Structure 1
């Protein structure tokens, strides 16, 4: 009986929280967020549609995808 509990405790310690797939998804989400911030820089026109509408949506999509990547099992 004691041996079974010892094996289960060893399995818990060696199990990683994230897999390789999670890390890939996190890297993709960070790239999407970076792309959104890159879209925000550029011309001097402050109220451009790209800066006020598209770029914030891309950044929010990147953060949402990052949350999904963290919660993905």
Structure 2
């Protein structure tokens, strides 16, 4: 009989998803802090979007990674 209490993801997946949310929040905050006109400074064009790409890649990795089953 199958185990009905087993969660879809393991602890590792949830921790990576929290890191994903943190990276995405930091990326959007950094883009909003840019003081250049229309956000054309370093924070708005380089660092913020780079953190967003890293955050989304980490999110896909967090979904796809297989956690070791607890014994």
Tell me the TM-score normalised to structure 2 length: 0.79
Divergent runs of 4+, >3 A: none
Instruction: Work out the CA distance in 2 between the residues paired with 1:26 and 1:50.
Output: 24
- Tell me how large the CA RMSD over aligned residues is: 1.3
Structure 1 stretches of 5 or more lacking a match?
Answer: 1-6
User: Number of paired residues?
Assistant: 64
TM-score, normalising length from structure 1? Answer: 0.77
Determine which structure has the larger helix proportion and give its number.
1
Q: C-alpha displacement at 1:53, in angstroms?
A: 1.1
